[in-house]
């Protein structure tokens, strides 16, 4: 008995460590590379695709060695892989993979991840099915599937611990060292188990009774049941951030619920009961289909997000509960997990690769909702014995009617979204829309909920600055103050939008716009006239602004505008001490640095204040309320002087000092914490 407990503990520790490390490395490596790709949310989607694909390769490897190799050869091969993977420590992202601005971001990120963490992540991904297979042959009659629940618990713990216990207290370098140390412990524990299993009996010999292999249709159902929650997890995260609460780390909630459903369903299959969850599924799918048609931004964020997340959790419970109820004999354990991995990769590939490049709108959530309804209906109908033909026909009719209902809701919603649209386009950086408002007075550009500017449709007022950039705004006052001289000025702008700031330009001025998204440049030039009608010389620089500024000679800007913070997804690499050093390098001696820090969910004041203080510079906050005429939006601009004397000659309206934030740590390239600035 004592031996069995010790053995179970060793297996449990190894599988827990592997899962914990798998989900710790995801935000860690994402944090390392996010600055190189503009802070786009699609970076995380692409990372998820890499993690799921590598997980699939790990499951293929586990399935192969269990079926094709003797226990002795399995042990030797796996120990060799474990030891080789140690040579890649400590974990780091090579700067050789930094983009220049012309590469395909998806391929660049996938290549970077493969070169940086490919082998350690692959080794970790093999652990779940392989350890369970070893456990099944060493402890005949044991329950290896409960180890899968433990694995998901380790994943969820790592997911929740990173933003709370690691990111706020440790620089990226020290996070990497901690991860590498834990990985070394994992290698030792896994190698011990592998060595002990070298003389075990092969799993096919342990299970002496004849058990038929799962049919092709059963394998296909496993794949589909795994794919549906995978699609919805990423698609619903995008929906949450774009339509309900663009809060940093909001992706944690759907992923945590996804893992929680695995834990509940695989720890004890009794938790999932069809008679409870299938009716809840009908309600939940209807809610997920109908939510996008509501004015969710008018509801309290907590209510709308809770409704959404509860519905998503029910979907995960049904799909994972059905999967848990179909667990095969342990002889086919690796086949089972392989199908789950195939489904996860298919879902991730659809959302991460197909959708951004094939769809002009966010259709993947709608597809995921309808597909889930179809798959669960197939599972229900194939496993139910109906007492009468009438009952069977009634069930078919009810399911068909429900599928038609949710499909029509989604089709109608997408059709409504296209009303008045001049342009809708989508790429790696998101979905961009250009449309004329209902009054016909303005033309607007929008990314999700985030406005990128607007312009009067009346040609007489076309060059009048609007939204966050009106004349009384901080950036408006800074440019107008510099324009009082007769000499031409040079203005740098990080973030093009519709090109509103070009409306301030005079003949002889130079306006240099840095923009990472080529579709924004194309839309601003084709659908708006700020750039084409400007009297200034307009320059475009394609690529991430931080990387471009690092590679350029001093630009000698009179005003440098950093306008990338009006949304919830904040490019942290534009707010660090190292970024400020680049900004000051490109400013004239009396230049002004203007940060747009308007944000519903984040308080960016202490970030810019501590950075300005680190360089011993003055900083002013200019806050403007929304205009009664709807021309101007509520805005906050932080203005930083390169030379303290320059502010003495400028009297900013509505300017105030930013209070010192005691205890707030200066953000650096290797340290930041979004948790510390959430409102």
- The full set of domain ranges for the chain reads 1-208, 214-415, 466-677
Distances (CA, A) of 576 to 32, 99, 544, 573, 611: 13, 19, 15, 6, 7
Tokens of 489: 């000025």
Residue-level pLDDT at 197:
78
DSSP conformation class of 678: B
As a whole number of angstroms, the distance between CA 130 and CA 120 comes to 15
Question: Does the predicted TM-score (pTM) go above 0.85?
Answer: no
Going by their DSSP bridges, the two strands 619-624 and 635-641 should be labelled as antiparallel
Question: Is the pLDDT assigned to residue 631 strictly greater than 60?
Answer: yes
Write the pLDDT tens digit of every residue in 204-222.
Answer: 444 455 667 888 989 999 9
Question: CA torsion, points 469, 475, 480, 483, in degrees to nearest 10?
Answer: -120
Short-list 111, 147, 116, CA closest to 14: 147
Short-list 113, 44, 476, 420, CA closest to 254: 44
Burial 101-134 (b: 16+ CB within 10 A, else e): beeebbebbbebbbebbbbbbbbbbbbbbbbbbb
Residue whose token pair is 């509960």 = 321
As a whole number of angstroms, the distance between CA 673 and CA 38 comes to 18
CATH class of 466-677: alpha beta
Sheet holding 450-456, edge to edge: 421-427, 430-436, 442-447, 450-456
CATH 1.20.1250.20 fits 1-208, yes or no: yes
The CATH number assigned to the domain with range 214-415 reads 1.20.1250
Write the pLDDT tens digit of every residue in 334-353.
Answer: 788 889 889 988 888 888 77
Is residue 315 within 8 A of residue 284, CB to CB? The reply is yes
Write the pLDDT tens digit of every residue in 92-146.
Answer: 877 777 766 555 677 788 888 888 888 999 999 888 888 877 877 766 555 566 7
Residue-level pLDDT at 286:
93
Residues sharing a CB contact under 8 Å with residue 268, sequence separation 6 or more, in sequence order: none
Write the pLDDT tens digit of every residue in 45-88.
Answer: 677 778 878 888 888 898 888 888 888 888 899 999 999 999 88
619: three-class secondary structure by DSSP: strand
Question: Is the pLDDT assigned to residue 203 strictly greater than 50?
Answer: no
Phi, psi (rounded to 5 degrees) for 478: -65, -45
Question: Is the pLDDT assigned to residue 381 strictly greater than 70?
Answer: yes
Domains 1-208 and 214-415 equal at CATH topology level: yes
């Amino acid at each position: 008995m004592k031996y069995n407990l010790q053995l179970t503990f060793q297996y449990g520790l190894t599988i827990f460590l592997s899962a914990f490390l798998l989900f710790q490395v995801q935000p860690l490596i994402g944090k390392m590379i996010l600055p190189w790709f503009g802070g786009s949310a699609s970076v995380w989607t692409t990372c998820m695709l890499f993690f799921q694909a590598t997980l699939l390769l790990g499951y293929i490897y586990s399935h192969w060695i269990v079926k094709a190799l003797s226990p002795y050869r399995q042990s030797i091969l796996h120990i060799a892989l474990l030891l080789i993977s140690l040579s890649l420590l400590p974990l780091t992202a090579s700067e050789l993979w930094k983009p220049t601005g012309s590469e395909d971001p998806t391929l660049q990120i996938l290549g970077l991840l493969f070169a940086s963490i490919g082998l350690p992540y692959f080794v970790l991904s093999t652990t779940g099915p392989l350890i369970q297979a070893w456990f099944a042959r060493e402890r005949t009659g044991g329950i290896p599937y409960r180890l899968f629940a433990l694995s998901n618990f380790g994943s969820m713990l790592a997911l929740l611990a990173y933003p709370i216990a690691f990111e706020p207290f440790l620089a990226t370098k020290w996070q990497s060292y901690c991860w590498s140390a834990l990985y070394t412990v994992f290698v030792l524990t896994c190698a011990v188990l592998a060595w002990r299993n070298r003389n075990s009996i092969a799993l096919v010999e342990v299970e002496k009774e004849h058990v038929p292999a799962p049919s092709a249709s059963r394998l296909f159902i496993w794949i589909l049941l795994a794919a549906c929650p995978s699609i919805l997890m990423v698609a619903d995260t995008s929906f949450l951030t774009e339509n309900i609460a663009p809060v940093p780390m909001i992706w944690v909630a759907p992923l945590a619920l996804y893992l929680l459903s695995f834990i509940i369903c695989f720890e004890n299959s009794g938790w999932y009961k069809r008679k409870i969850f299938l009716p809840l599924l009908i309600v939940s799918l209807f809610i997920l289909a109908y939510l996008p048609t509501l004015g969710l931004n008018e509801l309290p964020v907590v209510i709308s997000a809770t409704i959404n997340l509860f519905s998503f959790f029910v979907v995960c419970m049904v799909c994972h509960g059905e999967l848990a109820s179909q667990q095969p004999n342990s002889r086919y354990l690796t086949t089972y997990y392989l199908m789950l991995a195939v489904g996860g990769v298919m879902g991730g590939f659809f959302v991460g690769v197909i959708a951004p490049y094939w769809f002009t709108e966010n259709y993947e959530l709608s597809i995921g909702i309808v597909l889930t309804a179809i798959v669960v209906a197939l599972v229900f109908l194939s496993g139910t014995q109906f007492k009468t033909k009438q009952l069977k026909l009634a069930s078919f009719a009810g399911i068909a009617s429900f599928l038609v209902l949710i499909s029509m809701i989604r089709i109608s919603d997408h059709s409504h979204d296209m009303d008045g649209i001049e342009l809708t386009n989508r790429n790696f950086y998101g979905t961009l829309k250009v449309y004329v408002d209902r009054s016909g007075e303005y033309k607007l550009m929008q990314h999700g909920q985030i406005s990128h500017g607007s312009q009067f449709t009346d040609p007489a007022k076309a060059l009048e600055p609007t939204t966050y950039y009106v004349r009384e705004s901080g950036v408006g006052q800074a440019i107008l103050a510099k324009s009082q001289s007769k000499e031409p000025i040079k203005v740098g702008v990080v973030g093009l939008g519709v090109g509103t700031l070009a409306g301030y330009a005079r003949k002889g001025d130079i306006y240099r716009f840095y923009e990472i998204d080529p579709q924004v440049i194309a839309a601003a030039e084709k659908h708006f006239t700020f750039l084409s009608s400007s009297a200034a010389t307009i320059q475009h620089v394609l690529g991430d602004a931080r990387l471009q500024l690092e590679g350029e000679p001093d630009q000698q800007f009179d005003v440098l505008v950093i306008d990338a913070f009006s949304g919830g997804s904040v490019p942290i690499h534009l707010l660090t001490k190292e970024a400020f050093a680049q900004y000051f390098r490109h400013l004239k001696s009396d230049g002004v640095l203007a940060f747009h820090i308007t944000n519903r969910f984040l308080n960016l004041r202490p970030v810019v204040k501590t950075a300005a203080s680190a360089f011993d510079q003055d900083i002013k906050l200019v806050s403007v309320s929304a205009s009664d005429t709807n021309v101007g939006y509520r805005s906050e601009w932080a203005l930083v002087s390169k030379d303290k004397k320059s502010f003495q000659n400028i009297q900013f309206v509505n300017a105030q000092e930013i209070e010192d934030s005691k205890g707030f740590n200066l953000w650096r390239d290797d340290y930041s914490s979004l948790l510390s600035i959430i409102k």
